[in-house]
Copies of this chain bind each other. A is one copy, B any other.
Amino acid sequence: MPGEKEKCMKVTAKTVADFTKGELIGNPDIEITDVSKIEEGKKGSLAFLANPKYEKYLYNTEASVVLINKDFQINGTVNATLIRVDNAYDAFTSLLELYTKMVPEKKGIEQPSYVDPSAKLGENVYIGAFSYIGPGVTIGNNAKIYPQVYIGDYTQVNDNTIVFPGVKIYHGCYIGHSCVIHSGVVIGGDGFGFVQQPDQQYRKIPQVGNVVIEDNVEIGANTTIDRATMGSTIIRKGAKFDNLIQIGHNVEVGENTVIVSQAGIAGSTKVGSNCQLGGQVGLAGHLKIGDNVKIGAQSGVSNNLKDGETVLGSPAFDVSRQVKAMITYKSLPEMSRRIAELEKELKKLTEKNKGE
């Protein structure tokens, strides 16, 4: 019943062996119509085995074809056709990349869409129906703007970037080359800046900066990245964001930093390169987080972190200390009883001593 997908793959084992420069053992003509994990293999599917932990599945998988490392020692009967390659995982990933490219490419300008006469569109772009390209916008070559996207005045989207349906990018922002922006992302909304007046009402601080997303950044669905009060909120090249993340105004996120879903970074905090932020992490504002920092899921960080630190907890501190505290925490009621017992015993002893 479920999961009837477009049928765009239909190749033989031989084609895959040729593409991967692998050695084929079995039926070269067997057809591949899908890909799967080895433990979920079905007739017609191509799987791979890289991690020896999964070896057992090799002998009972229903996958038609399995990619396997050249030097892998087989210790049982295999029904699937095998293709031996230098690195099964890499070869499989390359095939997946090829597979995704086999879907017919979206191209051209669908109607109705709104492209301001002053906008500049590169070569070979896709502009989906109901998308809005404002005045002064630049769209780079081969960029794909899916339907129902909004690109505000003077924003620049560079070559090969994919903007999925319904993304909203406010005016004056910059999106680099080869970025991927998923549905529902909002880039360039106003930073959260207000000043309370004597009458308790808040006066809005105009947010006149912008957002700069460098090259090769991927941003997950419904994530929000606020524009700077002045200057730019900056996401450096190669950063990867999951879904539903909040990035406050004037934040900077370093190169190749990875942020898992539902994490939030408050205004003006700078995060270094190659960091990993777990899911639902919260970072207070105006912090400086070094490079290669790891922050465990659900942590709350309210102080600066040095290069290479790994922290956990809310409030977060060094992970090994935190893990010990978490373990001890579980026996808190017992600890409390032991203290009460000690007090009782000590009192008895003290009184006994006095009495003597």
Using a CB–CB cutoff of 8 Å, the interface residues on chain A facing chain B are 1-6, 35-37, 40, 93, 96-97, 99-100, 103, 110, 112, 114, 128-130, 132, 136, 146-148, 150, 152-154, 156, 164-166, 168, 170-172, 174, 176, 180, 182-184, 186, 189-190, 192, 194-196, 200-206, 208, 210, 212, 214, 216, 218, 220-222, 224, 226, 230-232, 234, 238, 240, 242-244, 246, 248, 255-256, 258, 260-262, 264, 266, 273-274, 279-280, 282, 284, 297-298, 300, 302, 314-315, 317, 321, 324-333, 335-336, 338-339, 342-343, 345-346, 349-350, 352-353
Instruction: Report the minimum CB–CB distance from A127 to chain B (whole Å).
Output: 13
CA distance A99 to B206 in the complex (A): 9
CB pair A244 B242 closer than 8 Å:
no
CB pair A220 B224 closer than 8 Å:
yes
Q: Given that A114-B130, A297-B300, A314-B298 are known contacts, is A164 also in contact with B183, CB under 8 Å in the complex?
A: no
Instruction: Report the minimum CB–CB distance from A212 to chain B (whole Å).
Output: 4
CB pair B6 A172 closer than 8 Å:
yes
Q: Which residue of B lies closest to A98 (CB)?
A: B206
CB pair A240 B338 closer than 8 Å:
no
Q: Given that A202-B256, A220-B224 are known contacts, is A335 also in contact with B346, CB under 8 Å in the complex?
A: no
CB pair A333 B324 closer than 8 Å:
yes
Considering the complex of A and B, which 4 residue pairs feature the smallest CB-CB distances, nearest first?
A96-B206, A6-B154, A168-B183, A150-B165
Q: Which residue of B lies closest to A321 (CB)?
A: B330
CA distance A192 to B130 in the complex (A): 28
